[in-house]
Amino acid sequence: MTAILISEVGPRDGLQNIATVMPLAAKKAWIAAEAAAGVREIEVGSFVPAKLLPQLADTAEVVAFAKTIPGLIVAVLVPNARGAAAAIAAGVDKLTLPLSVSETHSLANLRKTHAQVLDEARAIAALIAALPVARRPHFEGSLSTVFGCTLEGAIADAQVARLADDLMQAGCDEVGLADTTGYADPAAVRRMIALVRRVVGDGALTGIHLHNTRGLGLANALAALDAGLTTLDSSLGGLGGCPFAPGASGNIVTEDLAFMLAAMGYQTGIDLEKLIAVRTILSDALAGEPLYGFLPDAGLPLGFAY
């Protein structure tokens, strides 16, 4: 069956939404353990000013460590060209620039209008184009709040389509969809994938970032799979959300997503027992932070083979 890439976003999206600052040694242990469990892509941090997100102030050091792990795709989020330059200098394999389709959220999150974010996208594309081909990171433009915004409400399809095209024209390799506020449902996921693909083409939309705010995370993931997407973001223990979108709690749980995919026969390369064991690193380093997930509580079914 189709191979599906689970992109672990906990070290970035999970940690940015909690007050606790995880020690660097614990971050390294987390990333190493997940990679050893078979997770092939990890978003290890974000190049943002430390005063804004002190939880991610050591991203350059985390990237340097992650790059020593053979075969791991080391990804980061960047808010602008300055952050992208730092990411490129650190040697990342993938960088993501968020463009909220809600301009109200864009101003709250990045303090930039749509036009200003697109200027940053063009500047990032120019930085990448100036590199030797072998050193160029993959550049994704993420369409945030694409299923609705807690600050602005529903976003017109025409605006989503225009911004998707704008990102590709600015030089992104692909666009991604992000349910930043947890508003998505399976029908909306299928509809939005079709809408954006009509603009950018099938090859330029392969991934989606989902939250489980209202309990529909795995249902939405299944809808994305049925629509042909092959990359799904998730967070170990369900850590995360968006600190700039009120109520946008809860990424989908990596453990539960990996189990669902394995049960359905999809290939992820992940050892489920090893993945569950990684939670100990989080519980030890983030005392008092709740961890979510059904698989870790219930365990694998008797005789389960994958």
Q: 278 Cβ partners below 8 Å, 6+ apart?
A: 30, 33, 34, 37, 236
Pinpoint the alpha helices (H) of 37-156: 59-66, 81-90, 103-109, 114-129
242 is a catalytic site residue: yes
Q: 216 Cβ partners below 8 Å, 6+ apart?
A: 184, 185, 186
Q: Which residues pair with 234 in a beta bridge?
A: 8
Question: Out of 75, 92, 95, 242, which one is annotated catalytic?
Answer: 242
For residue 144, what are the CA distances in angstroms to 90, 99, 228? Answer: 25, 6, 20
Backbone angles phi, psi at 146, to 5 degrees: -70, -20
- Give the integer Cα–Cα distance in Å for 204 and 168: 8
Residue 174 DSSP code:
E
Provide the token pair at 199: 């603009």
User: H-helix or E-strand containing 273?
Assistant: helix 272-277
Any long-range contacts for 272-275 (C-beta under 8 Å, 24+ apart)? 272/300, 272/306, 273/300, 274/33, 274/36, 274/37, 274/38, 275/34, 275/37, 275/38, 275/39, 275/236
Q: 97 Cβ partners below 8 Å, 6+ apart?
A: 77, 78, 79, 80, 84, 117, 120, 121, 124, 139, 140, 141, 142, 172
Which are the catalytic amino acids? 242
